[in-house]
Each structure stands twice: as structure tokens, then as C-alpha cells.
Amino acid sequence: MSLHGSNVTVMRCAWVATIAVLTLGVIACGDVARDDGGPIAEWREYGGDKGGLRYSPLDQIHTGNVDDLEVAWKYHHGDFSDGSGEYARTSFQATPIAVRDSLYFCTAYNRVIALDAETGDERWGFDPGLRAKRGEGPYPLTCRGVAYWEASADANERCARRIFTGTRDSELIALDAETGEPCRGFGEAGRVALREGIGEAPPWEYYPTSPPLVVRDVVVIGALVADNLRVDAPSGVVRAFDVRSGALRWAWDPVPPDWQSEVDDEGEGGRNYHAGTPNVWSILSGDEARGLIFVPTGNPAPDLYGGQRAGIDHYGSSTVALDAETGEVAWHFQTVHHDVWDYDVASQPTLFEIPGVGGGTAGVAQATKMGHVFLLDRETGVPLYPVEERPVPQGGIAGEVLSPTQPFPTHPPPLHPATLTPDEAWGFTPIDRADCAEKLARYRSEGIFTPPTREGSVQFPGSAGGMNWGGIAIDPLKGLLFTNQIHAPMVTQILPRTEYEKLDASEVAYPNEAYPMEGTPYGVRRFALLSNFGAPCNAPPWGTLTAVDLRSGEVRWSSTLGTTRDMAPFPMWLSLGAPNLGGAVVTAGGVVFIGATTDKFFRGFSVETGEEIFRRRIPFTASANPITYRLRREARQFIVIAAGGHGWSEPGDALIAYALP
């Protein structure tokens, strides 16, 4: 474990200035040409803009020179742990923001750090004094990002520019963007407590992991609620606070419209909001002009058994549009009815407006773990293209009431295979292929939306996706959508309470999971469907990067993403694709950049062809979203990625910037 260290490595071409052809706006280093005449752009929001487009107009780096990128600087923040000591395991998943000349990000211990965006030198660091660092709970510590707000472009008073962050101590903190000092007029000495009204819960069961969102002078935040623990889990309430004072402006308690929300200051256990409602753990989007906030919801508690929900999943697994002034629901679209697969909406709703897509209507693209992408009208939530309600398998466990149909998009059609049968079993040899075929015959496998059962049901795609919180990137000029996916099956097995309680703890170590689902008659086991050689039972690729033409709805290309390196010993380093968490950024230079994979590489792909045209070895896996920026006319374009591991890989602490010489 390493704490609170810093080390900046700056690499520059020492003789670049001696051959600069400034009159032409071109600088040469060796035989690499760099055009300084193009656009400049910041990266002010987690997804580039409030709509999460993950697109940059920058083109200094392009397909012709991307392989000349070199490390410009590295920063090591020191906040990481493998979980073997007194602190919990960490995962550095932060996506920084670039504003003016500074880069802002958070660490797994919720420190917020500001760097010089061009040199990587530290400007300030804020330590919240995190109390909840211990190793309890099923998830590694993480913080995916921070949010920015400014009073006006020329304001000079203290805290006129602010950084907002949420912590594992369930606090929302406002910091002066210039100094890192807490904004004293915000809440109590710069902090707002987020546990008021959600009921009793240990620190690891409820806390924000994704960045807040600022829209129309309110800062909006949701929180993670640990999966499958109990029926009366903490509320999934989403709250908006005044961006200056921290006063609560509104709270959206995601209960069905005809239910009365529990609002009682003296409520049992300090609960003001309804227990077990769908939570909002992923990334929010906003439309300033329309005054709308777009919320991706998870499942009500517990995720994998819904026999006692009584309709509380009305807003579950949905995209919900909220009024930024009042928190009232403008519309909602449900991607899964009565979700018992943990197919919660993990991806940020992505706002677009592209001629030829939906008649040029302002839209929302919602990617899901099922490999489905729904294109919705931004003002009404009505699909821009037909969505079909199709019959799905029935006959789950006793007490469950399944939806007879599920929504399937037609434009684009589903991007992930929907079936995995014994005939489709895969293996390196006849031995492991036969093992997979036997397992697929043993478990119920009737395609996507096969319900969880007592004997065990194949879930394909698994609960990690398809697509996950890395989301999608859209090139609005070309009308192309880019997304990475996992292709790996799982098995979900519902156990009667008495059988669940007999489980040996040694049988359920990650990636074999077990959850109590207290308050129901059942517990649950969930595990990856692997062969006796340890590989997924479906044919590769096990990770892909796909480009979709939004105008036609057709797949333009799909490329293998990742290798077995760092998961398998040499010489079994094969280009079969890899599990991946994190997302991509697309640039006007025609390159899609992505980390995400379980191998330690950062990659770039051609927008037009899907060819891998850039690859660099990195010190840890990059389970994060990259960003790009160019802040001055004479400056370089930078590509920055956080490399800090995940639950399945070595934890780390590297923020790496690439640029042309």
C-alpha cells in the first residue's frame, strides 16, 4: 500500500524549439510534424459536455500521426491498496476534467487533486480525512470524477469557481478551484451530509461513486446502494443542492407516482425516503437549455428477486428525465420490465442532435448491459425508432411474477448475441468444449431474459454487460456511435434460505458471488460460466469495440478489444478480446481512444475502419474513461488516462498524459 505520495515525470523533446517553424504554426521533432493551427478545447465535464457525448473537435492528433504519441508526463498520487492491510482494495477509475489550465480529479480515498494540465505538476490537493477506508463490503474503493461550476467567466471572489465531489463518507464537498480550500458558505464548512433520511446503513452500503452534475445552479447527486443484501436497503433518492449555499432544493424519491413518499422527520431509523427504491449510482447528464436532468436508474432491492416489490420497480432500470428546478419527473423510459437480472442502467444517458437521425430531433441515446441502445426523444422520452415488446421466457422461482414481454430496439438492433446453447459451446480443445457443452445443458439457457431459477440459469450477456458504466461515445459529424462490450456468460442460482445458509464461505470468493437477499425466502449465487480450462464458454471475442451508424442503424465495424495477456501466462497471449470496464473518447482526428481491458494497454482505433492504430503498454489496467484537451493555440493536444486497476487486476495510481513530440 502507498499513501499520499506524488511523483511527476515530465518528458520533453529537448531540442524541439531549435527547429520550430513558428511562422507556419508547425513544430517538428525528429521526423514528426505537429500542426498547431487547429482548434482548442477544454474537457469541462465527465463526458466532455453535460450531455456525455465524449467527442472532441481536436485534430492535432490524427490517424496519420497517432502512433508517434509519447508520454508527456505521469503523475502518481499514492492512494492505493491491495486490501491486504487495514484499508480496502482500491480501483483508480477517475475521469479527470480539464478547465482553463488545470486538470482536476479524485482518488479512491476521495482526495481531490489539481494539476497543471500541460506539465502534470501538482497545484493543490485536498484530503477530506476519509473515515470509511476500511475493508468492509464487496466493492473496491473508487471515485469516478468531480464536477465544475463557475459564477461567471470574470468573477474573482473566493469560490467563484468550484469543484464538487462526493465521498465514501456520504458527503458532498465544495472546493475553491483555485486553492482547493473548502467553500465555507456551502453547507457546514464546505460539506453537506448525504445520509439524512436514507435510514441506517454501514458506510460501505451507501455512498456516491460517480461525479455530481451541475445544471442551472443546482448540484445533483445520487449514490451507490450495495446489491442484493436486503429488502429494506437505503433509498435510491436523488437530491439537488443549491450550488452556492448547499441548501437542499429538491429530492426525487423514486417511488411509483401513485405512492405516497415517506416524508417524516421522526421516521423510524431516521428514514425520510422510501426503503429499497431504485438507486442512481452511475453518471448523470443534463440539458441546460431545457432544464432537464437525465438519470439512469438501477434496480430496487434486492436485484435478483422481485416477488415482494409490489410495483416499487416502476422507475427501475430506466432513463428518467427530471426538471432541474423542481425534481419532478418529465418522462421516463424503462429498458427492462421487472428486472431480475441486475441489468440496471449503468451507462450515462448521451445527448445528441444529428441530421438524419430521428429526423434531426434532439435525442437521448441510452446504452444498456443487454447490448441494447435506445434512441429517445429528449423532450418526451418517446422512442425515435420502433421498440418492440417481445415475449420472453417465463417460469422463474416460486413467488416471482415476471413480465411476459421485454422491450427490444430495432434501430440499431441489439448489439450483443442473445443466446448461448450447448451447440454454441466453445473451447480451445474438444476437452474443454465438451465441458462447456455439459454445463450449458445442465443450466437453464433459453436466451436473454431467461429468469433466475433454483437449478441455475445462464445469463448472457452477464450482469456486467454488454455495456457498462464506460458508456458510449458519439461523433456527431459522422453520425457514428462507439461502444465497448463484454461478452462473457454467467450463471445465477436462487437458493432457498436454508440452503443459502449452508454455503461455505470458501465457495463464494470473488468472482463467485453470494448474497443474502434478507427479507425474502431466498439467497443467491452468481458465478462466471467458465470451462475447466478457465476460459468463458462462449466463442471469442470476449471483448469488442463496435461502431454503429446512427443514421442507418447498421454496425459499421466491430473489432476485437483486448488480449489474454495479464490474465494468462506466456505464451497464451492471444487476441481473443478481454473483459473491459471503462469507456472511449472519439476525436475529430479520426481516432477512438480506449483503455478498459484486463490487459495493461491503452489503445487507439481508426474511426473509419476499426483498425487498431495505436497501442502503448501501461503500468496498471485502465478501468476509466480517457479525456483529451488542448488549452492554448501554441499548445499540444493531450490524451490522458487513469491507470489504476480494478477488482480483477492489480491496484495502482498512475495518471498518464500522451502528446506528440
Contact 148, 160 (CB under 8 A): no
Closest listed residue to residue 340, CA positions, set 296, 297, 401:
401
3-state secondary structure 368-434: CCCCCEEEEECCCCCECCCEEEEECCCCCCCCCCCCCEEEEECCCCCCCCCCCCHHHCCCCCHHHHH
Say which residues have a Cβ less than 8 Å from residue 532's Cβ, sequence separation at least 6.
431, 432, 435
Cell representation of residue 276:
429499497
The DSSP symbol for 583 reads -
Helix (H, G, I), strand (E, B) or coil at 521: coil
Contact 316, 278 (CB under 8 A): yes
Burial of residue 168 (number of CB atoms within 10 Å: 0-12, 13-18, 19+): buried
- The 3-state DSSP composition of the chain as helix, strand, coil percent (nearest 5) reads 5, 35, 60
Q: For residue 557, list its beta bridge partners.
A: 547
Active site residue 342: yes
Contact 478, 356 (CB under 8 A): no
The active-site residue, picked from 253, 287, 342, 566, is 342
Q: For residue 252, list its beta bridge partners.
A: 238
Q: For residue 521, list its beta bridge partners.
A: none
Cell representation of residue 387:
421498440
Q: Measured between alpha carbons, how far apart are the two ends of the chain, in Å?
A: 34
Polymer length of the chain: 661
- Amino acid, single-letter form, for residue 529: L
How many other β-carbons are positioned within 10 Å of the β-carbon of residue 30?
Answer: 11
- Amino acid, single-letter form, for residue 631: L
Q: How far apart are CA 405 and CA 392, in angstroms?
A: 5
Closest listed residue to residue 614, CA positions, set 93, 70, 75, 29:
70
- Amino acid, single-letter form, for residue 44: R
Pairing of strands 387-391, 32-35: unpaired
Say which residues have a Cβ less than 8 Å from residue 438's Cβ, sequence separation at least 6.
422
Q: How far apart are CA 162 and CA 180, in angstroms?
A: 9
DSSP string for residues in 7-73? EEEE---TTGGGG-BGGGTEEEETTEEEE--S--B-B-BTTBSTT---EE---SS-TTTGGG-EEEE
Burial 287-323, CB ≥16 within 10 A → b, else e: beebebbbbbbbbbbbbbbbbbbeebbbbbbbbbbbb
Closest listed residue to residue 475, CA positions, set 598, 297, 352, 325:
352
CA distances, 620 to each of 191, 443, 484, 643 (Å): 33, 36, 19, 5
Contact 608, 590 (CB under 8 A): yes
Beta sheet of 490-496, edge-to-edge order: 457-459, 490-496, 522-528, 513-515
Q: Give the catalytic positions in this structure.
A: 342
